Structure 1
Amino acid sequence: MPSDFPSAARLHRPSEYAAALKGRRIARGALFVVSSPREPASQGARLGLIVPKRHAPLAVTRNAIKRVLREAFRLHRQTLPAGDLVFRLVNRPAPASLTALKRQVRAEADALLGRIAKC
């Protein structure tokens, strides 16, 4: 299936996250910053997520944010350039229902991934 999300499409090691965070910031939104390492990758697009407890104190909120980001990445993966992408939550979301939060995260994720795909 072309739109699956295999293990090879995820970042696993702390060194992979560190390289992406030391790299360049390629997109920024109201909630997220997307970073990528400076050296190009030969494999396809891979995703890493950083959702700190400081910005999303409830586990339900953190897990919902990660689930929505993974799904957005999975759908955009074929159009993205090869390389690692780390989504980092940098601002606390406004208090809202979980449904409203998911909509906000999905809209921002789609916008950021669309910008990255055009580069």
Structure 2
Amino acid sequence: MSGSFAFARSARLLKPDAFANALKGRRIASGGLLMLHVGAVAEGQARLGLVIGKRHAPHAVTRNAIKRVVRESFRHHRGELPAADYAVRLYRPVGDVSLTALKRSARAEADAHFARAQRQGRASGTGTPS
């Protein structure tokens, strides 16, 4: 892996239009808690947006832990991901589980989703997952 692992402002989805485009795009993967959507990119790099709402994770501590873990996974996979806008959405309620167990499962799921996006991008040969 080469490059920086920083999560720069340029690597984030910041505007509602960018989130909308990513969420309207293809759903690449879904798991027990998280769903990964990918949309076309206007710029030449992978960017991440997170949709972690109170509806499925009512406690701020839980929401922040999930966001932190997904961002960390994205930072490690960003160099190999095709240039696109990625939106990770929490789509199922977080059960009554310890924070440590939640972090482990969210990290494993996020790693698997980003690895799948990587494989699909390589298989398509276009650089963007299809």
> What interval of TM-score do these two structures reach, taking the shorter chain for normalisation?
over 0.9
CA distance in 2 between counterparts of 1:106 and 1:46 reads 18
5+ residue gaps, structure 1, are none
Q: Size of the alignment, in residue pairs? A: 118
How far does residue 93 in structure 1 lie from its aligned partner after superposition? 2.1
TM-score by length of 1: 0.94
**Please, which moves more after superposition, 16-25 or 83-92?**
16-25
C-alpha distance 40-10 of structure 1, shift in aligned 2 (>3 A): closer
Indicate the residue corresponding to 1:102 in structure 2: 103
Indicate the residue corresponding to 2:94 in structure 1: 93
Q: Aligned to 1:33, what secondary structure does the other structure show?
A: strand
Q: Aligned to 1:112, what secondary structure does the other structure show?
A: helix
Contact conserved, 2:38 with 2:87, CA < 8 A, in 1?
Answer: yes
Indicate the residue corresponding to 1:45 in structure 2: 46
Contact conserved, 1:41 with 1:82, CA < 8 A, in 2?
Answer: no
Q: Aligned to 2:29, what secondary structure does the other structure show?
A: strand
5+ residue gaps, structure 2, are 121-130
Contact conserved, 2:30 with 2:36, CA < 8 A, in 1?
Answer: yes
Which of 9, 18, 21 is matched with 2:20 structurally?
A: 18
Indicate the residue corresponding to 2:56 in structure 1: 55
Indicate the residue corresponding to 1:66 in structure 2: 67
Indicate the residue corresponding to 2:38 in structure 1: 36
CA RMSD across the alignment: 1.2
TM-score by length of 2: 0.86
How far does residue 7 in structure 1 lie from its aligned partner after superposition? 0.5
Q: Aligned to 1:49, what secondary structure does the other structure show?
A: strand
Structure 2 counterpart of 1:70, one-letter code: R
Contact conserved, 1:32 with 1:90, CA < 8 A, in 2?
Answer: yes
Structure 2 counterpart of 1:86, one-letter code: A
Q: Percent identity?
A: 53
Runs of 4+ displaced beyond 6 Å: none
Indicate the residue corresponding to 1:6 in structure 2: 8
Structure 2 counterpart of 1:60, one-letter code: V
CA distance in 2 between counterparts of 1:117 and 1:93 reads 27
